[in-house]
Chains A and B, each alone.
Chain A
Amino acid sequence: MKRDDIIEYSLDAHHSEEEGVKMRKKIWFVTALLTVITIVEVALGSLIKQSSPSWPIIKVLFIILTLIKAAYIVLSFMHLGHEKKSLKYIVLVPYIFFILYLLVLLLTESVYVAGVWEKHGY
């Protein structure tokens, strides 16, 4: 009898022991990286006050570190980096725009709107 659940598994992602060793090495590298980034973020967050003049730089740094973390999770853990290019960009491109929108709104737009409200009322 034909097994349709086998042909459904189209990625053909089996690998050998030796390849497994290599992959695990990469996984532990990403783990270490994510941990270090989190520690750096917490250290910066607790050492530098929001009122300090360097805060705007720290804020941008936080966002960059977050994006690095997110990229490693999506591309490595979720394996998107190894999928077909078309799938990769169909998932990523909308989000690149979306994240840019989030950042613009957060960093400039909201402050500007607050200023307008202060001046002219709601």
Chain B
Amino acid sequence: MAEHAAQKIDTKTAWGGKISPFNASYGKLMMWFFLVSDALTFGGLLISYGFTRFNAQDAWPIGEETFNSLPFLGHGYPLIYVALMTFILIVSSVTMVLAVEAGHRMDKKGVTKWMIATIIGGFFFVGSQAWEWSHFIHGSEFGKVELADGSQAIVKGHFGEIKNFTVTVAGKHHKKGEVITDDLMHQYHHAVVEGHIVNGMITLHDGSVAKVNKEADHEMMLVIKKAGKKHKLSDKISGEEASKLYYGAINSGESHKVIYGADLKENEYGPQQYGQFFFFITGFHGFHVFSGVCFNIIILLGVLKGTYQKRGHYEMVEKTGLYWHFVDLVWVFVFTFFYLV
């Protein structure tokens, strides 16, 4: 079979129409057409992102400040996680190209090995993205705060740990004097958003009132991301003043003074569009990666069955490879324009 394919192909018999445009097979050419049109979609998304981002200038969040966490290790690792994701995708692109190369030598074992590696890489990337999304949606410990003058600020620094709540007024579930140590952060965030904290006293779900015993925050700094009557855009407030303003807003007893995490309506990082672009662009790309993994699995099954070996060429691996590299290519642009600049 292999000698058939190794022959110089007569242009009179290639394709049904007796000619072979661009000396490429029908399937491959169609894959290129698809990729060109798909690239236009991503291009449109990135252009609208770029326009909005540079239009907003200083109000826009900075990539290395928003994405600075690692699983299990906490904060202080700017962009390392995204770089790791990029690296995983590059490596899986390399294993894909090695699978294609093995296919050109009709090396079935090689193709199988490298295809499996590519699929594993794809799963790693999709998993990483799931963690990033969850982290992005969940948000930080401080959140974004709306100050008394109407300005909005993001908060930097180390959040002092909450030790416990000491109940001072009994409710349905808690007695007076009881010390609550469970699920503190969640209840605290909920109370802050609902405006249930006044003068350091938290009103819990069941109606009991408790004193919040919390360690002091360190190196707190407010960075104004939306101007108000008093504070201008990009103003930085640190030290006592920052703490006073931040806890002033929390203890005001008004709801929605602090935003934690992100959804499509609002997010703690910056303007509304920031969250929307994040979900849409990385989501659209992640969906491409997921589809790519599915295609790769289908092709791997074909390789294992020996379909392509019998056919005399591994062009199917090349075609799915083109799609897979394209996904990597798009990520290179997303990485630069969404995370770096």
The segment out of B211-219, B251-259, B296-304, B307-315 that lies at the interface is B307-315
Total chain B interface residues with beta-carbon distance under 8 A: 78
Q: Are A14 and B311 in contact (CB under 8 A)?
A: no
Q: Is the CB of B101 within 8 A of A73?
A: no
Q: Assess whether B329 is in contact with A74, with CB atoms less than 8 Å apart.
A: yes
A31 to B87, CA, bound (A): 10
Is A96 close to B, CB under 8 A?
no
In the complex with contacts A7-B14, A105-B47, A35-B340 CB distance below 8 A: no
Assuming the contacts A50-B62, A70-B333, A113-B55, asked whether A106 and B340 have C-beta atoms less than 8 A apart, the reply is: no
Interface size on A, residues (CB 8 A): 63
Main secondary structure of the interface of B (DSSP, over half): helix
Establish whether residues A10 and B23, one from each chain, have CB atoms under 8 Å apart when the complex forms.
Answer: yes
- Name the one of B14, B83, B336, B341 contacting A10, with C-beta atoms under 8 angstroms: B14
In the complex, the answer to whether A42 meets B83 with C-beta atoms within 8 Å is: yes
Contact B53 A110 (CB under 8 A): yes
Residue of B nearest to A117 (CB): B55
Q: Is the CB of B340 within 8 A of A14?
A: no
From DSSP, what is the main secondary structure of chain A's interface residues?
A: helix
A14-B104 contact in complex given A5-B311, A50-B62, A62-B340, C-beta closer than 8 Å: yes
Instruction: Give every chain B residue within 8 A of A79 (Cβ-Cβ).
Output: 100, 318
- Chain A residues in the interface with B (C-beta under 8 A): 3, 5-17, 20, 23-24, 27-28, 30-31, 34-35, 38-39, 41-42, 45-46, 50, 59, 62-63, 65-66, 69-70, 73-74, 76-79, 83-84, 86-87, 90-91, 94-95, 98, 101-102, 105-107, 109-111, 113-114, 117
Add 6 more A-B contacts to A28-B94, A113-B55 (CB < 8 A).
A10-B9, A41-B335, A74-B329, A76-B97, A84-B23, A111-B57
